Amino acid sequence: MSAKNGSIKLVAGNSNPALAAGIAAELGLPLTKAVVRRFADMEIFVEIQENVRGSDVFIIQSTSYPANDLLMELLIITDALRRASARRITAVVPYFGYARQDRKSGSRTPISAKLVANLITHAGVDRVMTLDLHAGQIQGFFDIPTDNLYAAPLMVRDIKDRFDLSNVMVVSPDVGGVARARGLAKRINTPLAIVDKRRERPGESEVMNVIGDVSGHTCILIDDIVDSGGTLVNAADALLKYGAKEVYAYITHGVLSGGAATRITSSRLKELVITDSIMPTEAVRNAPNIRALPIAPLIAEAIGRTAAEESVSSLFD
């Protein structure tokens, strides 16, 4: 495959080698030879070992844990490519770190998502491609074109293959995610419920009520990020308390930090389905009730369309 104006080059950082390899395989292209390593004092060194002059380059790099290191890798790779005369640089960031800090949540707090957007833009990136941003308005934080891809079509296909939709109810685990859950419920033509929760302190949540009659239904929780897993576990308990038959969860980004995998495994969730936007830890890979959907085909298709100057939004029509 080649770009409309010049060849396509794929450069991978260290965030998710398996995903990068999957995208390259889908496109039928090799990953560009590059060295991304650390000096003894942990400074990052990058060397692009192929000619990229005039090429349409896509950097595949999520900014997941360790977020600061992987973000710096992305910025330094961008600088190396810019100085090597790449024609266009697209940052493919399946999981965009710092997205949860998208507004001032209190006095004298930062809007870190905007800061990170500025860093990426000023490093020399021409375009950003990401997946299920925590808040859609983050696209406006960039002064360059930004494509926000959606995992919903992948989830819809998986749900249709595995469930009897006549007995399914889509559930938002909090009020803030209603629009996302409503969109998926509309796609599969099922009813919608909402878990109303009160968060007493960061990282903890207390379920207060369930809005909607979930009795006898197979409930599917929908969200963009699962971190500690506390919200999902509490939501599942509440839904079962209110008469749900079984509870599943479909979440785009499986951050699953700390003991989250253990918490999910020991919970009453029948299954947690995530994408491989973030490289899973060993605990996540070994968890019997956590499953990953591959997103390489989706991202590869979007990269191919971007390189050919074709519509990306039509992927989701």
Domains and CATH numbers, the chain: 2-149+296-316 (3.40.50.2020), 152-293 (3.40.50.2020)
Question: Is 122 annotated as a binding-site member?
Answer: no
Burial of 172 (0-12, 13-18, 19+ CB in 10 A): buried
> Tell me: the pLDDT tens digits for 222-232?
999 999 998 89
Q: Cβ atoms within 10 A of the Cβ of 104, count? A: 10
Question: Is 206 annotated as a binding-site member?
Answer: no
Question: Is 227 annotated as a binding-site member?
Answer: yes
Question: Is 124 annotated as a binding-site member?
Answer: no
pLDDT band at 64 (very low <50, low <70, confident <90, very high): very high
Tell me how far apart the alpha carbons of residues 233 and 217 are, in angstroms, rounded to a whole number.
18
Question: Is 268 annotated as a binding-site member?
Answer: no
Tell me how far apart the alpha carbons of residues 89 and 81 are, in angstroms, rounded to a whole number.
8
Instruction: Give me the active site residues, please.
Output: 197
pLDDT band at 204 (very low <50, low <70, confident <90, very high): low
Question: Is 182 annotated as a binding-site member?
Answer: no
pTM over 0.75: yes
- Cα 177 off chain centre by: 15
Identify the pLDDT of residue 174: 87
Identify the pLDDT of residue 238: 93
Question: Is 231 annotated as a binding-site member?
Answer: yes
Identify the pLDDT of residue 79: 98
Q: State the Cα torsion 142-19-220-204 to the nearest 10°.
A: -70
Identify the pLDDT of residue 43: 96
Is the pLDDT confidence value at 81 over 70? Answer: yes
Ramachandran region, residue 77 (left: φ > 0; alpha: ψ -120 to 50; beta: rest): alpha
Residues 255-276 have a mean pLDDT of 95
Identify the pLDDT of residue 20: 98
Average the pLDDT over each of 95-104, 157-166, 199-208, 228-237 and give the range with the smallest value.
199-208
Portion of the chain with pLDDT greater than 90, in percent: 87
Token output for 214: 């979930």
Burial of 69 (0-12, 13-18, 19+ CB in 10 A): middle
Identify the pLDDT of residue 313: 85
